Structure 1
Amino acid sequence: MPTSFKSPVWDIKAIPVEKIQANSYNPNHVAPPEMKLLYQSIKCDGYTMPIVVYKVPGEDKYEIVDGYHRYTTMLRHKDIYEREHGLLPCSVIDKPAEERMASTIRHNRARGTHDVNLMVNIVHELKDAGMSDAWIMKNIGMDADELLRLKQISGLASLFKDKEFSHAWS
């Protein structure tokens, strides 16, 4: 393996669940039947995928980038917590907030559904952070029409500030 890049998965850490916290921007929701299935999967197979986390600077805490529902499964089910000794397998990444948001969306879109209002909030936050439409589309896996629809749903003119419009309305 080249030494210039090493995927975080090659360095999984066992982190106490109490040191892990949810992020404030995850738009992914899992319906109750699928949550039951996730519990069953973890009960039968164990944790087969690590939680992706970010180390909060200056604190003994980690924020979830991906794996919120696997995390809540441990919190809600004493049998899982006890079997795993309260430890979650974690892959730690170190990226700025906008990159973590994009990473969360990439992980989620590969397997889940999203709450439209939370997606609108994320697009707004990314635009406020100076990310271009091209950056958002590339890093979140969104096409131009979907991005436009989210901006339209928001009703926020600030999301259109970098667009040039036709003079037909003049």
Structure 2
Amino acid sequence: MNKLTFPCLDVKLVPTEKVVANDYNPNKVATPEMKLLKLSIELDGVTMPVVTYYDKDRDLYEVVDGFHRYTVLKDYFKSDVIPVSVIDKPLDERMGSTIRHNRARGTHQIRSMSDIVIDLSKDGWSDEEICKKLGMELDEVIRLKQISGLKEAFANHEFSKSWEEFESKYYKEEK
């Protein structure tokens, strides 16, 4: 087990223009829920920081979780600052963090989830790692790979021998 950390205890106020969205978040929020989020922030204040990754090269904080809080603060409240906590992980691990945070709360767009599963597979993640780190079942990972239609999505997948048995029984090579 990894050592437990508490990035939530190191919240900082960052200028809004230094916070940017990531380009892989598959989570979408319907209009009624966005209105509820606005109301919640209006009545309760900002109760949770936006989880970010600090990109030193760009001097920007990229959203890992809390995109909709960030959007409401920036666009609706016109806030000059965003409260952020920072995690320091490589991109594939940040993608995993985003998915875990989102799945713990709601739903994802299927096509976007499929794209992420494909990207993680291309980055060398096994189906088992994807299952474990994203909180998914193997059949869900396989279905998401099928949606993409990419044959390389299954390049590292180990299939059962039943197909070979079927093939040898019914499709014997003609001589």
TM-score normalised by structure 2 residue count: 0.88
Q: Which runs of 5+ in 2 are unaligned?
A: 169-175
The equivalent of 1:30 in structure 2 is: 29
Counterpart of 1:169 (choices 160, 167, 170) is 167
After TM superposition, the structure 1 = structure 2 runs for residues 16-165 of structure 1, keeping only pairs within 5 Å, are: 16-77=15-76, 80-82=77-79, 86-165=80-159
Question: Deviation per CA, 1:9-48, whole angstroms, max 9, x where unpaired?
Answer: 1111111111000000000000000000000000111110
Identity of aligned residues (%): 53
The 2-side partners of 1:13 and 1:169 are apart by 61
**Unaligned regions of 5+ residues in structure 1, if any?**
none
Determine the C-alpha separation between the residues in 1 that align with 2:149 and 2:53. Answer: 32
Q: Distance in 2 between matches of 1:59 and 1:28?
A: 25
Task: Find the residue that maps to 2:48 and give its secondary structure.
Answer: coil
Alignment partner of 2:52: what SS?
strand
CA positional deviation for 1:5: 4.7
Q: RMSD over aligned Cα, in angstroms?
A: 1.3
Which is higher, the Rg of structure 1 or of structure 2? 2
Distance 2:21 2:46 in 1: 18
Distance 2:135 2:4 in 1: 23
Partner of 2:6: 7
1:51 shift after superposition:
0.2
Higher relative contact order (CA 8 A, sep 6+): 1
Q: Contact conserved, 2:131 with 2:137, CA < 8 A, in 1?
A: yes
Instruction: Give every structure 1 segment of 4 or more consecutive aligned residues whose post-TM-superposition deviation is greater than 6 Å.
Output: none
In 1, Cα distance between the equivalents of 2:147 and 2:122?
Answer: 17
- TM-score under structure 1 normalisation? 0.91
Structure 2 SS opposite 1:163:
coil
